[in-house]
Amino acid sequence: MDANSIKIVKPTNVIIKNPLKLLSGKVLSEYKLKYETYGSLNSDKSNAVLICHALSGNHHVAGYYEGDDKPGWWNNMIGPGKPIDTDKLFIVCVNNLGGCHGSTGPTSINPITNKIYGSDFPMMTVSDWVESQKELMDVLKIPFWKFVVGGSLGGMQALQWSFQYPKLIHNCIAIAAAPKLTAQNIAFNEIARQAIMKDPNWHNGNYLEKGVMPNQGLSLARMLGHITYLSDESMREKFGRDLKNSKLGFNYDVEFQIESYLRYQGEKFVTGFDANTYLLMTKSLDYFDPVKDMSDNLIKNLCECKSNFLIVSFTSDWRFPPKRSKEIVKLLLDNKRNVSYSEISAEGGHDAFLMDNKDYFDVMASFIMESSNGI
Amino acid sequence: MDANSIKIVKPTNVIIKNPLKLLSGKVLSEYKLKYETYGSLNSDKSNAVLICHALSGNHHVAGYYEGDDKPGWWNNMIGPGKPIDTDKLFIVCVNNLGGCHGSTGPTSINPITNKIYGSDFPMMTVSDWVESQKELMDVLKIPFWKFVVGGSLGGMQALQWSFQYPKLIHNCIAIAAAPKLTAQNIAFNEIARQAIMKDPNWHNGNYLEKGVMPNQGLSLARMLGHITYLSDESMREKFGRDLKNSKLGFNYDVEFQIESYLRYQGEKFVTGFDANTYLLMTKSLDYFDPVKDMSDNLIKNLCECKSNFLIVSFTSDWRFPPKRSKEIVKLLLDNKRNVSYSEISAEGGHDAFLMDNKDYFDVMASFIMESSNGI
């Protein structure tokens, strides 16, 4: 266990009985949210931080579960003395609604039918997630978020907070994000979805009822995801054209190391993730387009938003490259918001937002420290 | 019908009875090659041009088949008065061995078993194709190629000619190619292969025997291919975030135009292509690495090669971007070859090599005209 890490952590469940009207028009009459918190809410409740997770993330952001030697997914960023400092801040992270790690989602029982939701689980949007996170905020009696922080799809949620609840967010950190997906981004998501939905075990999304899982499709989707998470350069460095065996086999078994890596990633992923959740997460990415959806309201809300913004991008990220982050910066500057922008030189591709990098961590620590005055 | 086009053309078959020893060690005792020719071989046999096709291409490069209103795949480049001028040059294009458009391939009958080859068809390499093209060259009594020309995988064959038969090629034109695939390139191919091989109709490659086709997998593979053929920019221009219907449906039907395009491309492709050929083509791409395979021989052969080289790349091609073409240029310059390089400003991505573009066509026409002196 990392000496500077938060130690053992436990998730908490809360049932929200306030019906949630979704952007699709559907309503969730009640739902469970699974979340974790680290650090303590201070007496004037001014140090709360919401961490928003990305496509395959969850509420287990930092620290260790009892008996588990793998920490949460952002343990390098969050902990005592780390950029998001648990000695000073009160951290909250919730498994997104529609997820598969404890919050109500497609694998849960639909209280109306008493059957597994499966494909009956409604489509989620970033805006719906913000609404459900607002419910949790009320449960925890948090008056405002000192910081809302996220990378990738998590960054989109952080941005959405500033548009949707402009008065409840003091600082917004959106890392490796974009103001909306491009046609190419949507194309990758669509192929991932088709891979899942063409799996013979798909059964229109009601595979759990049949006792099977569309794991081949989900595995393909994940393999494809990995291409977009890594940079061409980092793949070259990690694998190059190295062979698994000493010479070519002239067959369709694994021949190159990169093939071995991808197959392993695909196979590992399906043991802990639900295909319907994967589909729904890709759709929420595709749908995200606050400038279009909120139109005049977005501008009005942004003008009411006193939040500071930190937008971070990585040079080798080709999923959401720096130019996409600059679109966010432009939108905010055009509306006279207080924006810091940092383009980090990094070879890790989109996944760089999860990796150690001195410049990145310094930028995060310094923005958070400066914005934490009075805590 | 395009007024400047070659008119009606017909393919020809030839049976090669000279056994072909493949790089994999396997031997094809005899095989059929299907090819087309345009123009006439001149009296001193000095005007022959070999066109090498790419992954999904074939021997039908220009002109029209009787009753068909769609010309060959490079009809804009090849024809009377066009850059590859059929009034002056004698053009040959052959369906690659292992293909599915008439040359012996996985859909052919294996003369040894009297059954469809299916997965028994041996793996092909670029070097094997050059050998089979050399056999056709001998059949046609062509003493040397005035030009060998190809884009993408076709460009790799053109290069291989200069390494493998350095004295039989006078000019080599390699467009949108690379000296070898990167890990990312291989990764895309591997996912395409996995999509096909995980199709329930795959049957270890012997699907035709079962009367089925792994069309879902092949369609996915093709959809994925299309992402890498188009540039982010051209996708944005063509489709952007346009919706198919007036508003979001919040379901997994087609919502965005790009989804509709990809599904259509996938479905169209499977009606005319064989999955085993697709697999084999992706493998030949992965294997291509002449610098490694030929090592000292490559240098020796290159030094014997009097060919001029034209290397062409396109700014928006992210499958084989300009820097990959520059690797070819460097290899040739390091060996003191006569190289012209042109980086064409184009938005079409990798597919730009098939599209009209004045600069591109001017470069091709001028190189070909200058190198055709004496014809």
Q: Could you read off the pLDDT of A130-182 as tens digits, one per residue?
A: 999 999 999 999 999 999 999 999 999 999 999 999 999 999 999 999 999 99
Tokens of A350: 């989109």
Q: Check A182 against B232: CB less than 8 A apart.
A: yes
3-state secondary structure of A326: helix
Instruction: Say yes or no: A57 and A135 in one domain.
Output: yes
Alpha-carbon distance A137 to A16, whole Å?
11
Reported confidence tier of residue A201, pLDDT bands at 50, 70, 90: very high
| pLDDT of res. B205 | 97
| pLDDT of res. B1 | 66
Residue B45 lies in a domain: yes
Q: Check B123 against A289: CB less than 8 A apart.
A: no
Q: Which of A183, A195, A240 faces B183 most closely, judged by CB atoms? A: A240
Q: Check A227 against B191: CB less than 8 A apart.
A: yes
Chain A nearest-CA distance from B72, in A, is 28
Instruction: Say yes or no: A244 and A319 in one domain.
Output: no
Tokens of A189: 């998501």
| pLDDT of res. A271 | 96
Chain A nearest-CA distance from B61, in A, is 29
Instruction: Say yes or no: A38 and A69 in one domain.
Output: yes
Reported confidence tier of residue B120, pLDDT bands at 50, 70, 90: very high
Residue B7 lies in a domain: no
Residue A1 lies in a domain: no
Reported confidence tier of residue B219, pLDDT bands at 50, 70, 90: very high
Q: How far is CA A33 from the centre of its chain?
A: 16
Following DSSP, what letter does each residue of B158-213 receive, concatenated? HHHHHHHSGGGBSEEEEES--SS--HHHHHHHHHHHHHHHTSTT-GGG-TGGGT--
Alpha-carbon distance B228 to B191, whole Å?
13
Phi/psi of residue B312, nearest 5 degrees:
-125, 135
Number of domains in chain A: 2
Q: Average pLDDT of A81-106?
A: 98
Residue B2 lies in a domain: no
Q: Which of A182, A186, A266 faces B259 most closely, judged by CB atoms? A: A186
Q: Which residues are CB-contacts of A334 (< 8 A; sequence separation ≥ 6)? A: none
Residue A303 lies in a domain: yes
Do strands A338-344 and A20-21 pair parallel, antiparallel, or not at all (unpaired)? Answer: unpaired
Following DSSP, what letter does each residue of A45-80 receive, concatenated? S--EEEEEP-TT--S--SSB-TT--S--TTTTTEET
CB atoms within 10 A of CB B334: 10
- A324, exposed or middle or buried, with CB in 10 Å at 0-12, 13-18, 19+? buried
Judge whether residue B46 has pLDDT over 70.
yes
3-state secondary structure of A341: strand
Judge whether residue B133 has pLDDT over 70.
yes
Structure ipTM: 0.94
Residue with tokens 């294009």: B93
Q: Which of B180, B230, B256 faces A241 most closely, judged by CB atoms? A: B180
Judge whether residue B374 has pLDDT over 80.
no
Instruction: Say yes or no: B178 and B207 in one domain.
Output: no
Phi/psi of residue A313, nearest 5 degrees:
-135, 165
Query: Which of these three, A281, A306, A334, is where a domain ends?
Result: A281
Alpha-carbon distance B45 to B40, whole Å?
9
Alpha-carbon distance A108 to A32, whole Å?
10
Reported confidence tier of residue A4, pLDDT bands at 50, 70, 90: confident
Alpha-carbon distance A212 to B235, whole Å?
36
Task: Tell me the residue range of the domain where B239 lies.
Answer: 185-281
Instruction: Say yes or no: A134 and A245 in one domain.
Output: no
Instruction: Say yes or no: A239 and A335 in one domain.
Output: no
| pLDDT of res. B375 | 77
Contact A140, A121 (CB under 8 A): no
Residues, chain A: 375
Chain A from 153 to 182: CB within 8 A of any B CB: 180-182
Query: Which of these three, A281, A306, A329, is where a domain ends?
Result: A281
Instruction: Say yes or no: A43 and A146 in one domain.
Output: yes
Q: Could you read off the pLDDT of A220-242 as tens digits, one per residue?
A: 999 999 999 999 999 999 999 99
Query: Looking at the DSSP assignment, which residues form a beta bridge with residue A341?
Result: A311
| pLDDT of res. A294 | 83
Contact B294, B130 (CB under 8 A): no
For testing contact with chain B, the best of A121, A224, A243, A263 (most B CBs within 10 A):
A224
Amino acid identity of B288?
F
Contact A201, A212 (CB under 8 A): yes
**Is A243 an 8 Å CB contact of chain B?**
no
Residue A5 lies in a domain: no
3-state secondary structure of A182: coil
Candidates A99, A110, A101, A90; CA nearest to A37 is A90
Instruction: Say yes or no: B101 and B153 in one domain.
Output: yes
| pLDDT of res. B294 | 83
**Is A364 an 8 Å CB contact of chain B?**
no
Residue A4 lies in a domain: no
Chain B from 265 to 294: CB within 8 A of any A CB: 266, 279, 283, 286-287, 289, 292
Candidates A17, A12, A186, A177; CA nearest to A103 is A12
Instruction: Say yes or no: B134 and B222 in one domain.
Output: no
**Is B259 an 8 Å CB contact of chain A?**
yes
Q: How far is CA A170 from the centre of its chain?
A: 20
Q: Average pLDDT of A290-318?
A: 93
Q: Could you read off the pLDDT of A19-58 as tens digits, one per residue?
A: 999 999 999 999 999 999 999 999 999 999 999 999 999 9
| pLDDT of res. A1 | 66
Query: Which of these three, B263, B281, B299, is where a domain ends?
Result: B281
What is the CATH classification number for the domain harbouring B305? 3.40.50.1820
Residue B100 lies in a domain: yes
Judge whether residue A193 has pLDDT over 70.
yes
CA distances from B143 to B48, B140, B181 (A): 9, 9, 32
% of residues, chain B, pLDDT over 90: 93
Continuous segment of H or E residues that includes residue A85: strand A84-85
B256: chain A residues, CB-CB within 8 Å: 183, 186, 190, 286
Q: Check B182 against A235: CB less than 8 A apart.
A: yes
| pLDDT of res. A122 | 97
Instruction: Say yes or no: B177 and B204 in one domain.
Output: no
| pLDDT of res. B293 | 87
Q: Average pLDDT of B43-54?
A: 97
Instruction: Say yes or no: B173 and B308 in one domain.
Output: yes
Instruction: Say yes or no: A67 and A198 in one domain.
Output: no
For testing contact with chain A, the best of B26, B27, B119, B190 (most A CBs within 10 A):
B190
Q: Average pLDDT of A213-217?
A: 97
Judge whether residue B222 has pLDDT over 80.
yes
Q: Average pLDDT of B300-325?
A: 95
Enzyme catalytic residues of B: 152, 317, 350
Judge whether residue B126 has pLDDT over 70.
yes
Chain B from 182 to 221: CB within 8 A of any A CB: 182-184, 186-188, 190-191, 193-195, 197-200, 216-217, 219-220
What is the CATH classification number for the domain harbouring B241? 1.10.1740.110
| pLDDT of res. A54 | 98
Q: Could you read off the pLDDT of B247-283 as tens digits, one per residue?
A: 899 999 999 999 999 999 999 999 999 999 999 999 9
